[in-house]
Chain A
């Protein structure tokens, strides 16, 4: 979701500062958008689906639901707002190396002052293609593009009237190739993403009933982030048998770092959160929970949270909807 701000025509000189304020709220919201991402294998490494940072895997899967809560800070005339999102995300392999994704969120806004608002955010579509995989090195690289479809959501919750395209580079690396004297670091892995969010309109203007002109700058943004995870399944299977119950051996502690940095049109600075959490990866689904700790006041001043139930469709329905449309 995004927030707009109203400027009078005589106050247009204040645009850069207001644009920066708008940008900070905009990018905070973008950083807190809740897509769900893929799981996959590279060699002997299993990567779970991360919650808020994208990863390079092409997969058949469904997140239903993802529920998140975060309080955005007050900004100018706009009060601080509690935002709760209920999201659905599904991805489908077209081939082994190429997949598509769809996401939608129902948003509930509760401002400190003013009426509660509810509605759907813009829906998103995504394409992803795996370009490189190295099984012994547990390394993978993909490229993708996301399309946040402008006007498909409700203005009541601040859905943009313009589209945003985000071409993205995605990577993953496990550390199973570390030497024996560092074997207890082998369960570590990192996934990450770097992309540029490009709005279809550089600014949007509207004229209010009283003749005031509302101008919103829509900057390009650097969308980046990474997730660091420590796989207890990897520890148990490849490093040292833990002797723990299967329940504990399927836990994967994770810390995610979703970030957004402004690139132009008066926008600068970075917003984002640090998300420590835990993923339990079962045979057919995973459950996960993370805290969302804002990195600065422009992002927020309170800790939020996110929880998710995520199904592995390729494991649930391997001979029907859980396999690529076109197989080699």
Chain B
């Protein structure tokens, strides 16, 4: 690669790296931890994403093994940190629960996923 083209390429890469771009929102981590066992019933499920979310189009539900919704239906995006999506829970009995989420990042990309956690006494 000749020096001029190399310079153009490096400049373009630098421009891309510093651009105010947005991307798909991936789930970075969650509480309870994805696939984990927790002692005692958690009071909420919190999801941390890699991108800021659009609150109106980002949802999370928690279902029991019969598919019944056990969250309080009060999902919200944290106004101080828009990468965080949270929902509070009704008191949970021991058992396995599925968290189903679907979010819209601020650039209109949709991503979705689900995972389980297990409550043990």
Chain B interface residue bracket vs A: 20 to 34
Verify if B35 is at the interface (C-beta below 8 Å from A). Answer: yes
Find A239's partner among B13, B16, B107, B115 (CB 8 Å cutoff). Answer: B115
A283 at interface by CB-CB < 8 Å? yes
CA of A241 to CA of B36, assembled, Å: 8
Assess whether B72 is interfacial by the CB under 8 Å rule: no
Most buried by A among B16, B21, B22, B30: B21
A79 at the interface (CB under 8 A from B): no
Q: Does B23 have its Cβ within 8 Å of any Cβ on chain A?
A: yes
Task: From A2-10, A51-59, A213-221, A312-320, give the one contacting chain B.
Answer: A312-320
- Within 8 Å CB of A309, what residues of B? 13
Contact (A316, B16) CB under 8 Å given A233-B26, A241-B35: yes
Is A64 interfacial (CB 8 A cutoff)?
Answer: yes
**Please, which residues of chain A bring their CB within 8 A of the CB of B81?**
none
Chain A residues lying within 8 Å of B27, measured Cβ to Cβ, are: 236-237
The answer to whether A44 and B50 have CB atoms under 8 Å apart is: no
- Interface assignment of A208: CB less than 8 Å from any CB of chain B: no
Interface residue ranges of B15-52 to A (CB < 8 Å):
16-17, 19, 21-24, 26-30, 33-36, 50-51
Check A41/B111 contact, CB under 8 A, given A237-B27, A284-B16, A316-B19: yes
* Contact of A269 with B by CB under 8 A: no
Answer yes or no: B74 CB below 8 A from chain A CBs: no
CB of A285 within 8 A of chain B?
Answer: yes
CB neighbors of A among B67-121 (8 A): 107-109, 111-115
Q: Looking at chain B's contact residues, is the secondary structure mostly helix, strand, loop, or mixed? A: loop
| A44 lies within 8 A of B113 (CB) | yes
Q: A284-B21, A284-B23 are in contact. Are A44 and B34 (CB under 8 A)?
A: no
Query: Cα distance A249–B34 when bound, in Å?
Result: 13
Q: Is the CB of A318 within 8 A of B113?
A: no
Alpha-carbon separation in the docked complex, A312 to B24 (Å): 10
- A318-B113 Cα distance, complex, nearest whole Å: 22
Residues of A in contact (CB 8 Å), total: 30
Q: State whether A241 touches B16 (Cβ < 8 A).
A: no
**Which residues on the B side are within 8 Å of A316 (C-beta)?**
16, 19, 21, 23
Given A241-B29, A316-B16, A236 contacting B34 (CB threshold 8 A): yes
Q: Which residues of chain A come closer than 8 Å to B34, judged between CB atoms?
A: 236-241
Q: Are A44 and B111 in contact (CB under 8 A)?
A: yes
Q: Is B57 an interface residue (CB 8 A)?
A: no
Closest chain-A Cβ to B111's Cβ sits at a distance in Å of: 7
| A15 to B67 CA separation, bound complex (whole angstroms) | 69
- Contact indicator B28/A246 (Cβ below 8 Å): yes
Q: Which of A31-77 contact B (CB under 8 A)?
A: 41, 43-44, 46, 64-65
Q: Which of B1, B9, B108 contacts A318 (CB 8 A)?
A: B108
- Contact string against B for A residues 297-309, beta-carbon threshold 8 Å, 1 for contact and 0 otherwise: 0000000000001
Interface residues of A in 159-177 (CB under 8 A from B): none
B19: A residues at CB distance < 8 A: 316
- The answer to whether the Cβ of A280 comes within 8 Å of any Cβ in the partner chain is no
**Residue in chain B with minimal CB distance to A183:** B35
| A236 partner residues in chain B, CB cutoff 8 A | 27, 29, 34
Complex alpha-carbon distance, A314 and B17, angstroms: 14
**B115–A317 contact, CB under 8 A?**
no
Query: A246 vs B49: C-alpha distance in the bound complex, in angstroms?
Result: 11
5 closest A-B pairs by CB:
A240-B35, A315-B23, A241-B34, A283-B23, A241-B33
Q: List 17 A-B contacts (CB under 8 A).
A: A44-B112, A44-B114, A65-B1, A86-B1, A236-B29, A238-B114, A241-B29, A241-B35, A241-B36, A283-B21, A284-B21, A314-B109, A315-B109, A316-B21, A316-B23, A318-B108, A319-B107
A contacts, CB < 8 Å to B: 41, 43-44, 46, 64-65, 86, 183, 233, 236-241, 243, 246, 249, 283-285, 309, 311-312, 314-319
